[in-house]
Structure 1
Amino acid sequence: MRRHKEKGGSPNKKRKSGTARDSRAESEEFLKKNRSKADVIETASGLQYSIVDPGEGASPTEWSTVEVNQRILLVDGTVIKDTFRTPDRDRFTMEEAIPGLKEGLPMMKEGGRFRFVVPPDLAWGKRGAGNKIGPNAALVFDIRLERVND
């Protein structure tokens, strides 16, 4: 007698229904551990950062366009983007930035490098972004502010 395969795939595969809840728990655990590091500063909004290199140039305002090199990671270490390995920088207006970067980038000066840990509510929140960033995902940004254009 042949058995029919159940719809929905292998029972060993992780089901997507718990993904948002699991991601929220994983993000909260990562933020809690990161908060306890000696060099980490946390703002009132929950944005966490550490200063790798303070830089010496101009700081962006809410109306600036910035050029950055950045490595964006999920809290499990998955690399979403890494412009440090390419000849191209990312360029965007502060208005286009996610809330965590709108808050964090003005603390930086040109030439500076910070590590931001952005909680889900200051990133893409419940909706996520495409197929790379799931719902309720905290993100880690290793970011160098290359240039500020006003």
Structure 2
Amino acid sequence: MAKRKQSKGSRGSNKNLSEEVIAKFQQRADVTATASGLLYRVIEQADGVVPGMQDNVKVHQRIKLGDGSVIDDTYKKGLPEEYAVSEAIEGLQEGFQLMNTGARFEFVIPPELAWGKRGNSGAIGPNAVMIVDVRLVAVE
């Protein structure tokens, strides 16, 4: 019988790592928690437009997992990503609506607001926390 390809990390080890990352981040004085469990800190504030669910956003983002591995980094690539707020994972949908154009935030997104118990069958395993450094470049 062929062995199924496993996505990054096991359900149990990711859950433990996610809990550790979240607990450590929560201890920082500059971190805010929302009612949903999304954690964020403001790196740079701005006074531009705040996107809504129906808007498209252009963002620079560095997406890391709890173990520090980088999933995507548009800062390095030099090209921002563009997509609809409604297409983002739940944690980013909420996070974008806290930001103004030009702002840069760091989000710690618990698994239940990211890819959950199933992961995304690729680089993001089950129960994985995501750490996302986002600069909101534009709202369209």
| Same fold flag (TM > 0.5) | yes
- Name the TM-score, length of structure 2 as normaliser: 0.92
- Residue from 118, 125, 130 that aligns with 1:127: 118
Structure index of larger Rg: 1
- Residue from 64, 67, 72 that aligns with 1:76: 67
SS at match of 2:117: helix
Name the structure 1 match of 2:55. Answer: 64
Aligned-CA RMSD value: 1.6
Deviation at 1:87, TM superposition (A): 2.7
Of structures 1 and 2, the one scoring higher in RCO (CA 8 A, sep 6+) is 2
- Residue from 42, 45, 70 that aligns with 1:51: 42
Unaligned residue ranges in structure 1 (runs of 5+): 1-7, 9-14
Provide the C-alpha distance between the structure 2 equivalents of 1:83 and 1:130, rounded to a whole number of angstroms.
Answer: 22
- Residue from 137, 141, 145 that aligns with 2:136: 145
Deviation at 1:39, TM superposition (A): 0.6
Matched residue count: 135
Unaligned residue ranges in structure 2 (runs of 5+): none
Deviation at 1:75, TM superposition (A): 1.1
Provide the C-alpha distance between the structure 2 equivalents of 1:85 and 1:26, rounded to a whole number of angstroms.
Answer: 26
SS at match of 1:81: strand
Deviation at 1:37, TM superposition (A): 0.6
Following TM superposition, the consecutive aligned residue runs of length 4 or more in structure 1 with deviations greater than 2 angstroms are: none
Provide the C-alpha distance between the structure 2 equivalents of 1:97 and 1:56, rounded to a whole number of angstroms.
Answer: 23
- Name the TM-score, length of structure 1 as normaliser: 0.86
Aligned residues: percent identity?
A: 44
Deviation at 1:44, TM superposition (A): 1.1
- Residue from 13, 30, 36 that aligns with 1:39: 30
- What does 1:5-24 align with in structure 2 at a 5 Å threshold? 19-24=10-15
Name the structure 2 match of 1:5. Answer: none
Structure 1 letter corresponding to 2:125: G
